[in-house]
Amino acid sequence: MKDFNKKIIFIVGGSSGIGLSTAKLLAKKGAHIIIFARDKNRLKIAITEIKDQRLSDSQLFGFMSLDVSVRKKVETIMKKAVSDFGTPDMLINCAGRSYPRHFEDITFDQFDETMKINLYGIWNTISVLLPYMKQKGGHISNVSSIAGFIGVFGFTDYSASKFAIIGFSEALKSELKKYNITVSVLCPPDTNTPAFEVENRTKPEETKAISASAKLMQPDDVAAAFVHGVMKGKFIIIPGVDGKFTYVMKRCFPKIVEFVMDMIIKKVQQKDKEEGSRT
């Protein structure tokens, strides 16, 4: 997609963080924006902020409350959204969350919820909207993560969901060419959003130390890189220099990446041990 003017764009997870920044940027480019998330109050506030960025008064703005993990609800709400606003030219699947913990502290319920929101949520929205979108073509973007191509300490459930999103998107990209629908995957690095604050509450010290080795990005910068990547026709979009460097290193020199991460982890664990033996 090169031009967003007058395009109908559905953004799932558009009420906060990266999704909200992307919605504002696309509103500036003249798109009709419909956002989806669970919390109605946050949706109402977000759509006002998005509308403030509009290019013209003819743009449409709307929001609908839904939980992406509940398939029946996604079906009802997305069908209503299509009948109210029209078939989307672009679908952005940005809903997601993470609770980093040691594997042994992750319950089955957490693993199940992570998969249902981060992965099944994407399956749910695309499977409901594809019958409409294939009539006119368009673009689908799914949000993965740096943890979608590198398994990071503390993210066993999250990494599983985000790796799956990349594989799913690559297969989908191949299948949807015949409908003139392109597919991309956004892999943001650590980004300063409400979700990042939440994940810091449960993050193991080892994970914090690994995160500290890369720069924290701002959601507006991630959104700018994302939209630029879509316009350039990229499949994997990685905002920021650190993320791109990690991607290349992981592909070309996986042993070095593992060695560096192991060193960081060992250092933290050694420090913990020493502090433990002093008390």
Ligand X SMILES: NC(=O)c1ccc[n+]([C@@H]2O[C@H](COP(=O)([O-])OP(=O)(O)OC[C@H]3O[C@@H](n4cnc5c(N)ncnc54)[C@H](OP(=O)(O)O)[C@@H]3O)[C@@H](O)[C@H]2O)c1
Question: How far, in Å, CA of 59 to CA of 254, rounded?
Answer: 47
Q: At 208, which amino acid appears?
A: K
CA dist 217 and 192 (Å) reads: 6
Helix (H) or strand (E) holding 223, with range, is helix 219-231
Residue 157 touches ligand X, criterion: CB under 6 A: no
Which of 8, 13, 133, 140 is the binder for ligand X (CB under 6 A)? 13
Helices (H) and strands (E) in the chain, counts: 11, 7
In the structure encoding, which two tokens stand for residue 188, read together?
């943001």
188 touching ligand X, by CB under 6 A? yes
Rounded Cα distance between 188 and 223, Å, is: 9
* Per CB under 6 A, 94 contacts ligand X: yes
Residues 191 to 220 in contact with ligand X, rule: CB under 6 A: 191, 193-196
* Candidate residues 6, 30, 55, 67; the one interacting with ligand X per rule CB under 6 A: 67
Nearer to ligand X, 113 or 179 (CB): 113
Residue number, 85 or 158, with CB nearest to ligand X: 158
Q: Where are the alpha helices (DSSP H) in 52-193?
A: 71-85, 108-114, 121-133, 156-176
- Binder among 34, 190, 203, 265 for ligand X (CB under 6 A): 190
Residue type, 234: K
Piece of 38-46, 168-176, 243-251, 252-260 that binds ligand X (CB under 6 A): 38-46
- Identify which range of 176-184, 186-194, 200-208, 254-262 contacts ligand X by CB under 6 A: 186-194
227 within 8 A of 188, measured Cβ to Cβ: no
Instruction: Please pick, from the candidates 51, 73, 97, 136, the single residue that binds ligand X as defined by CB under 6 A.
Output: 97
Residues in contact with ligand X by the rule CB under 6 A: 13, 15-19, 37-39, 42, 66-69, 94-98, 117, 143, 145, 188, 190-191, 193-196
